[in-house]
Chains A and B, each alone.
Chain A
């Protein structure tokens, strides 16, 4: 019998089925309830926006992969997530060239200019949106409800104050109900807290994301707005907090990698979002607070690296 050839490699030889591609697929599935509801609420144009942003993201990704001579099917998958997310955080009235620009900026600048997969500091979808907010402020603030121009709950709050905003819905309970089910003006995928909660819990259940980050983020906003005498439920339901907390704050690449660092990160998000909403010029603060905390993430990470198991602080003890 001739000698057999065996594979020799470093242990372990046994792996879980965990794979980036699979994780991306799960995130897309988790986003679907909110996306479908958004399309149902805002009509065909919303669907077109999502399709444009997603396909431009995929094409841009393919272009850069070709440029770098690194064909990667996996990265195409991660571009789907970026494009879909971006589409879902845009107003449903945009002309279709706007999401195309946003998507291109997201992939080309926020992702590939920083070095591509694994190197992105800022959440690409949010960079895309921030770029659009800065470039086309009027278009990016034009929200509708049932086909009529309408303000988002947070815009109403900023412009007219709490009483007027609630009276628009009838009562505060009715306001909560509308916001929970998604019957409000807002970005395509952010309106229904319920749909986002379903997707978020799905990801938490499958351990794709850590429950602590959305919980601490939303919890901090809740507590701080309550302390400042605002209606905390109105604040956590009306706006982009749920989609931000479940799907963007939890994006791996913008977070500190350490366990405790992630808790500080989520805490910082909650504080910044509240500050921007209550004291800043914008009605909504999720987008910018995540980008700011993205920038702070490497520092938090460095400060929160754990000492190993059994580490002794003062060397004298050892002797």
Chain B
């Protein structure tokens, strides 16, 4: 089971055998009010307010959005504009100082077996569940396809193709029952029959345990060829169902919904235990002395988390939020993690080739061979570099999902993804302008 194109990076899953540990309670958290795809939230607390762990502190009426909950108990010390960890742009953020008591809101177990789909959906929305694979797309939106787009297939993404990261792997091993319960809830909401769990075949222990535990539940575990980006939404759907998401379209256009492992567990916790999404598992890996998988509170400061992973090994050069292929290099380590943070990968000077420099394209065609979207990255990059955004658009720049396969293998070290990203942002700007004119 696989897709066309893709690459075989060194996987470096150094934390694959490390059990999930609970991180220390943070003394302070920063909650940017825009941590998901969609509309940012508005704070519903004031400076000086006392909040409990799990209390909703921000929400919005917009449909494509998700409320945010405090991950500690304590006092709101400030609400101010702070740089967003990924975009770097200032975003309204709530800062909470801990009282170190971790006093939780009341979380009742819920009998959910007989709840109707709509009620389940509103629970999922109310408890702030978003996709935990990285994009942080609000889960209730994905679970509310329009009526003209019937869904017949649910795919649970356990590929975890990104090098270094092991959170989904550990969750599949350690929280198997919760995962399956979460999958059953999602299946019920969508009303679908066929459910697949796609797992790369380098995680055979996870495949084995899930196969055993899903017997008789009509959930199929699909071992996938270990290849990056197997866990990309489009590549994953193609590998399992051989359906192609139309260019510019969404999985729901071909009757599929993809959910991440961590998201399914969060759905279970919200529905069965009334627990809002205020903590998640992340992998802290790369050049730290004690790489590990940590259950961390949302908004915890990166620097503190790295200290809990044995601190930096050598002088850190790069902090990557996420994995090395699609993660974001952060400008500082005093930023908070957010709901979509799947890991922190630390690189020191041994991982960075300072002599690496870009030379002219030699037209080897490697980028075309590796592109899972069948694009022509070198050409798009060349157009973008020369400000021919129109030509880049004609070359389907918008279909790129920035997996990085092209740049990974480029023998002339052209920052292809960078240029394609630039082209995409310019295309979007132009389209917005064109809309305004109308």
Contact = CB atoms under 8 A, between A and B. Distances in A.
Given A12-B325, A13-B347, A18-B409, A258 B376 contact: yes
Interface string B319-332: 11000111111111
Interface in A1-21: 3-4, 6-16, 18-20
A13 B318 contact: yes
A10 B362 CA distance: 22
B364 A310 contact: no
A312 B247 contact: yes
Contacts of B345: 13
A259 interface: yes
A168 interface: no
B333 A117 contact: no
B376 A18 contact: no
A292 to B, nearest CB: 18
B245 A15 contact: no
B258 to A, nearest CB: 15
B411 A19 contact: yes
Nearest to A78: B362
A317 B331 CA distance: 45
B400 to A, nearest CB: 9
Interface string A114-131: 001111000000000000
A308 interface: yes
B359 A15 contact: no
A279 interface: no
Contacts of A312: 246-247
A24 to B, nearest CB: 9
Contacts of B407: 12, 15
Interface stretch (A137-145, A233-241, A249-257): A249-257
B320 A117 contact: no
Contacts of A13: 318, 320, 324-325, 327, 329, 345, 347
Given A3-B332, A7-B329, A12-B408, A117 B360 contact: yes
A140 to B, nearest CB: 29
Given A118-B360, A308-B375, 16 more contacts: A4-B315, A6-B332, A6-B333, A12-B325, A13-B347, A16-B7, A16-B408, A117-B359, A118-B363, A118-B412, A252-B362, A257-B379, A262-B365, A307-B374, A310-B247, A311-B247
Contacts of A201: none
A16 B413 contact: no
Contact of A12 (B234, B331, B365, B404): B404
Given A308-B374, A309-B244, A20 B362 contact: yes
Interface in B330-381: 330-333, 345, 347, 352-353, 356, 359-366, 368-369, 372-376, 378-379
B16 to A, nearest CB: 17
Given A118-B360, A257-B363, A12 B326 contact: yes
Contact of B411 (A6, A18, A308): A18
B329 A8 contact: yes
Contact of A11 (B315, B327, B376, B396): B327
| Overall SS of chain B's interface | loop
B399 interface: yes
A22 B421 CA distance: 28
B26 interface: no
Contacts of A18: 366, 409-411
A116 B360 CA distance: 9
B95 interface: no
Contact of B395 (A7, A9, A305, A318): A305
Given A18-B409, A308-B399, A118 B362 contact: yes
B318 A309 contact: no
| Overall SS of chain A's interface | loop
A312 B331 CA distance: 40
A72 interface: yes
A281 B11 CA distance: 57
B417 interface: yes
A278 B352 CA distance: 56
A115 to B, nearest CB: 9
Nearest to A312: B246
A160 to B, nearest CB: 42
A23 interface: yes
A66 interface: no
A306 interface: yes
Interface in B196-237: 234
B415 interface: yes
B331 A6 contact: yes
A255 B368 CA distance: 14
Nearest to B400: A308
Contacts of B362: 20, 117-118, 252-253
A310 B378 contact: no
B365 A257 contact: yes
A15 B317 CA distance: 16
A310 B244 contact: yes
A71 B411 CA distance: 19
Interface centre among B320, B359, B375 (most CB of A within 10 A): B359
A164 to B, nearest CB: 44
Shortest beta-carbon contacts, A-B, top 7: A12-B404, A118-B360, A14-B324, A10-B418, A310-B244, A308-B399, A13-B324
